[in-house]
Amino acid sequence: MAEFFTMLFDTNTPLGWFIVKTLIILAYVVVLLISLAFLLLADRKIWAAVQMRKGPNVVGAFGLLQSFADFLKFVFKEAVIPAGVDKPIYALAPVLTLLMAFITWAAIPVAPGWVITDLNLGVLYILAISSLGVYGVILGGWASNSKYAFLGAMRSTAQMISYEVTIGLVLITVLLLSGSLNLTVIVEAQAGGFWHWNGFALSPITLIMFPMMIIFFISALAETNRPPFDLPEAESELVAGYQVEYSSTFYLLFMIGEYLNIVLMCALITLLFLGGWHAPFDFAPFTWVPAVLWFAIKICCVFFMFSMVKAIVPRYRYDQLMRLGWKIFLPITLIAVALVGAWVTFVINGG
């Protein structure tokens, strides 16, 4: 029996490698989903606190189990499929959203060596897969056979494509500084205290990189359809945008995918600008904390900012959103790319 198990989990044989990898992926997904449940609760609690409400507080102590109760509620509800929908595509859209949200995480390292696939083109992979996330929204909106859903999908797609440009250009500035597309290498380049992090480095380039971090944060808000850029779901205009006709588990899949993307953006900001899993000070009491915990703490801090923005900022108008993306962020990031490129060529590499 023991021999059987050693054979089963031996990573040198193809079968063992397959089994071990599958188990790792499953564990990753479970951890991700459970943390997501509590982040969702935190989101609602922060939102409530800003508005001087209590927020969810009935299910479990302090409402800790609220997300799980919501989960069960969605699963057991009846799935209402409206007449005239394109059924295969209607069912495909939420699954696609969730799938794309999950497979992006495959390239995210959470601690030294803790990554499912350490891709050399990690950043490009994340950019590629997140650009596929648009399809879940546009197909869901179109297949629903509803004007509100379609309008929401159109808005969402235009918005996501516009802000992807900005995100790509901000990524280029970070890539130029680190000289690699591998996320692990990018994080290791920021080792040794917060004065080495891309966002706060003790060097003149921070004058560019700190605004880049802010622009990335705002673009991430727009990319994930979060308030103040939640125009695709603006309930005062479009009821609920592309999700109008979705109910029960289909809606749940959309929502999990959306929140996974938000946490992914938090993780990306952490990895690219906030030193990833490195402690803010590289001496004793701080280095005792495990690397993965630092990563989680930083993600929570960025997520807190996401929640605060949702709670206090009013919604943008659509033309204002487009103006911000194309007329303000795009020129600024383009100039920043040129400046960072000059900095790397003439200062770091010394001409």
Tell me how far, at minimum, the Cβ of 121 lies from another protein, in Å.
Answer: 6
CA distance 177 to 199: 11
CB of 2 to another protein, least distance (A): 24
Minimum Å distance from CB 34 to another protein?
30
Dihedral class, residue 227 (left if φ above 0, else alpha if ψ from -120 to 50, else beta)? beta
CB of 14 vs another protein, minimal distance in Å: 5
CA distance to 50, 95, 173, 191, 283, per residue, from 109 (Å): 33, 24, 20, 15, 23
- What number of other Cβ atoms are within 10 A of residue 53's Cβ? 12
Query: Judged by CB, which is closer to another protein: 161, or 348?
Result: 161
Residue 261 C-beta: closest distance to another protein, Å = 15
Nearer to another protein, 125 or 200 (CB): 125
Amino acid making up residue 97: T
Comparison of 67 and 261: residue with beta carbon closer to another protein: 261
- Between 87-104 and 122-143, two packed helices, what is the crossing angle to 10 degrees? 160
Handedness of CA 281, 282, 284, 287 (dihedral sign): positive
Q: How many CB atoms lie within 10 A of CB 340?
A: 21
Binding residues vs another protein (CB under 8 A): 14, 86, 89, 119-121, 124-125, 127-129, 131-132, 134-135, 138-139, 142, 150, 154, 157, 161, 164, 181, 319-320, 323
Q: Report the residue number, 48 or 124, with the smaller CB distance to another protein.
A: 124
Q: How far is the CB of 246 from another protein (least distance, A)?
A: 18
Task: Please state, in angstroms and rounded to a whole number, the distance separating the CA atoms of residues 161 and 188.
Answer: 30
Question: Which C-beta is closer to another protein: that of 22 or that of 287?
Answer: 22
CB 144 within 8 A of CB 125: no
Query: Nearer to another protein by C-beta: 134 or 169?
Result: 134
State which residue, 35 or 131, has the beta carbon closest to another protein: 131
Q: How far is the CB of 307 from another protein (least distance, A)?
A: 27
Nearest residue (CB) to another protein, 96 versus 302: 96
| Phi, psi (deg, nearest 5) at residue 65 | -95, 10
Q: Is the peptide bond before 82 cis (omega within 30 degrees of 0)?
A: no
For the bound state, the minimum distance from the C-beta of residue 112 to another protein, rounded and expressed in Å, comes to 21
